[in-house]
Amino acid sequence: MPSQLLSLFSPIKVGDMKLEHRVALAPLTRSRSPGFVANALNALYYSQRATKGGLLISEGTCIDPYSNGYANVPFIFTKEHAEGWALSTEAVHAKGGYIYAQLWHVGRLSQASFQPDNQPPVSSSATSVRENRPPARALNIAEIQETVKSYANAAILAINDAHFDGVEIHAAHGYLVEQFLNSNSNLRTDVYGGSIENRARFLFEVLDAVVAAVPASKVAIRISPDCNMQGVKDDDPKALYTYVLQRLNDYNLAYIQLTEPLWGAWVQGPPHDQSKLVQYRPLLKNPLTKVMLTGGYTRDSAESAVETGRADLIGFGRDFITNPDLVSRLERNLPIAQDKDVVSGHYSGGKEKYTDYPTWEEEQAAKYYLTREV
């Protein structure tokens, strides 16, 4: 049989999932979970973006009481949190879709007001993301072990109680795992600091604990190699991320999501086929672990990344906010709706700029009624 050209709409097996296309909802914090419990409005938002055989990744969901730094974000460390999330997973499954939970610990990006007893946030070391913020407190070894356990507990709750199809460990964007990885935020002199192997120890302990708790075929990870986001920076990023990505080959994970340094108009960079990720991509050699690229993708650049084999899956963020039917618009080559004011709705609360973006059909119907003579 002649080999077929891969496209965004070729099916693919990812972990235990049989995906019918390669367009994924990238994790997007939307701050619509007052009381830190995912709710029915969140379920509506995810179900609007669900497609048969399509993968959604939840917004970052916090794994223990020390892991949060933002208002109205959903947690996943008690049964009540899991029950809240079950509304979303049920709604997505009802449409034949899949959904992973992104496990999140923000570390030093938190502030005392979000911490138990108004204490300073925790991190790998006593550093601060900004000069005008008081420094975080360095976790001691026993606390690091507890935090590792919290990731496993969250993974078990996500899969067994909230019925997610898998979990994605957030090891990107300057949050806690990256605070351990990078040399400017990890000043430790014990086994979690110093050499690359030591700085990566926390990440691999988290991964080991999670894959011991749930099958590796339901586990994924997000990494942002050399992106220097939210204050982290490494002395030798190539050596650091080469080490990390090579070791990830040993885990039979469902997928690895790599953040593109390019975020469209927000963060400038060279085109995707010349991005820093191009040098790291060949390091990922495990055929069971699919590769998702996310950041600044359009229909054409996504198609090209899949066709050329740079990516198995493409994550879409902002376009999926303004186009609940993004998958269908991409498939039918329809215009992608833009909202110049989308940023004001990112974290604003309520259904506005959350569940009220129309599908293509709704947009056309509204135009039709507006232009009809009455």
Interface with ligand FMN in residues 139-198 (CB under 6 A): 170, 172-173
CB of 326 to ligand FMN, least distance (A): 10
Tell me which of 12, 17, 26, 37 binds ligand FMN, using CB under 6 A.
26
Tell me which of 14, 28, 55, 177 binds ligand FMN, using CB under 6 A.
28
Contacts 24+ apart (CB under 8 A), 236-243: 236/183, 236/196, 238/279, 239/196, 240/181, 240/182, 240/183, 240/196, 240/199, 240/200, 241/280, 242/280, 242/283, 243/196, 243/197, 243/200
Q: Is 355 in the site for ligand FMN (CB under 6 A)?
A: no
Q: Which of 151, 175, 255, 357 is catalytic?
A: 175
* Residue matched to tokens 């009802």: 94
What are 135's two structure tokens? 């420094």
CB of 266 to ligand FMN, least distance (A): 7
Tell me which of 60, 97, 107, 231 binds ligand FMN, using CB under 6 A.
60
Buried b (16+ CB within 10 A) or exposed e, 252-263: bbbbbbbbbbbb
- Rounded to 10 degrees, the C-alpha dihedral 240/246/250/252 comes to 100
CB of 59 to ligand FMN, least distance (A): 5
Cα 77–229–111 angle (5° rounding)? 50
Number of residues engaging ligand FMN in binding (CB under 6 A): 23
Q: Is 269 in the site for ligand FMN (CB under 6 A)?
A: no
The window from 182-190, 203-211, 294-302, 357-365 that contacts ligand FMN (CB under 6 A) reads 294-302
Q: Is 204 in the site for ligand FMN (CB under 6 A)?
A: no
Nearer to ligand FMN, 188 or 310 (CB): 310
* Residue matched to tokens 């942002």: 224
What are 73's two structure tokens? 């974000």
Question: What is the per-residue binding string for ligand FMN in 210-249, x denoting contact by CB under 6 A?
Answer: ------------x---------------------------
The H or E element that residue 19 is part of is strand 17-19
CB of 24 to ligand FMN, least distance (A): 10
SS3 state at 373? coil
CB of 26 to ligand FMN, least distance (A): 3
SS3 state at 359? coil
CA atoms within 13 A on the CB side of 180: 30
Nearer to ligand FMN, 297 or 360 (CB): 297
192 noted as active-site residue: no
The window from 184-192, 195-203, 258-266, 331-339 that contacts ligand FMN (CB under 6 A) reads 258-266
